Amino acid sequence: MIVPEGMVVKLDSKDDFLHEPEAASNYNESVYIDMFDSRTSLGAWLRIGNRPNEGHAEVSVCMYLPDGRVAFWFVRPEIQDNSELNAGGLRVQVAEPFKTLDVSYEGPVILLDDPMVLQNAREAFKQSARADASMRFTLSGVSPMHGGEIVNQDGSPWQLDPELAAYRGHMEQHISATGEMRIDGEIYPFDGHGFRDKSWGPRHWGNLYWHKWLPITFGPDFGVLLALMGRPDQPPEVVGHIWRGERLIPLTDARLNVTYDDEFVQRSIMLDLETAEGTTTVSGEVVTAIPLQHRRIAEDGTETRVRIIKAMTQFKCEGRQTTGMSEFLDLMVGDRPISLTTYSLDV
């Protein structure tokens, strides 16, 4: 995450639990998780975000199946408060902070042969076949947790502007995941690795502007994270690490080369990640990409549209191979991602 000048980050295990909502109408508290079983070509990601002052949650569930299909669901169920992450059939419970989460889903999904049809989500939900689905996972942290709440140097709260904010606190961790997925009675056992994050505070999605986020877990002892983030009229900021055992080695710089298709969807990726200990190179090839959108109309009638491409991606690094996530978020200018206007990437 980007930490404003003069601020610091406070990491506390109690922040793995839910917070008392702030007065801001756009207060959000959310958990995101992705997980991949490379041996069986299974993958999944999910997100639940409470917006208690708006009276609803945001629930997304996505399952990548071995035959190439994607099972997907999105809903905004009503909620009354911020007492639990349990809405729309999706439930996330902290069994032990920074250590273990229990995750379950029970509900419908649409089945997509071509996930890119979600560019027109309304029609995709009308025309796609539906199925009953469920998942049960136990998630265990395998790396140290990192991130936390942005505070003043004396520990006092950050006086942020809710209209310009994306979060107050943000934490991330490499994980292992065991459990199963079911679709229309067919059972898919799961044993793999992935990544999770937790965030809280006021959020408008458009305030994220753009980012290229690559959380990659190669196993129980090694992973990488790159968050390349852009802000208006500022050079991109590199945040991330190389994870080796108990050490999170901060990135000092990164070079990202991306090949896109005609719809500006990432298809191949090359990373050179620099730390104080040297350079680590990671290559990636996208297996399946799924597009998401967030639209917001401001009080003056101006529409903001954010596109998020979440791609199940095969990565290689230091002789190891795994499946992970490449998430490219952009404020859209017409039909073009703003990062490709403001930042030089291979196209």
Question: pLDDT tens digits for 17-40?
Answer: 999 999 999 999 999 999 999 999
Q: List, in sequence order, every residue forming a beta bridge with 20; answer none if it has no partner.
A: none
* Percentage of the residues of the chain whose pLDDT score is greater than 70: 99
Mean pLDDT of 253-265: 96
Residue 21 tokens read as 């909502």
174 phi and psi angles, rounded to 5 deg: -75, 145
Judged against a pLDDT cut of 60, whether residue 191 lies above it is answered with yes
Q: Tell me, what's the pLDDT at 312?
A: 97
290 to 62, 119, 120, 136, 271: CA distances (angstroms): 9, 9, 12, 22, 22
- Which amino acid would we find at residue 15? D
Question: Which two structure tokens, joined as six digits, stand for 167?
Answer: 């979060």
pTM of the model: 0.95
Structure confidence at residue 300 (pLDDT): 79
The length of the chain, given as a count of residues: 347
Are the beta carbons of 58 and 30 closer than 8 angstroms?
A: yes
What CA–CA distance (Å, rounded) separates 152 from 159? 9
CA–CA distance, 163 with 6 (Å, rounded to integer) = 21
Helix (H) or strand (E) holding 198: strand 186-202
pLDDT in tens, 51-92: 999 999 999 999 999 999 999 999 999 999 999 999 999 999
φ/ψ region of 233 (left if φ > 0, alpha if ψ in -120 to 50, else beta) reads left
**Mean pLDDT in the chain?**
95
pLDDT band at 346 (very low <50, low <70, confident <90, very high): very low
Which of the 8 DSSP states describes residue 20?
P
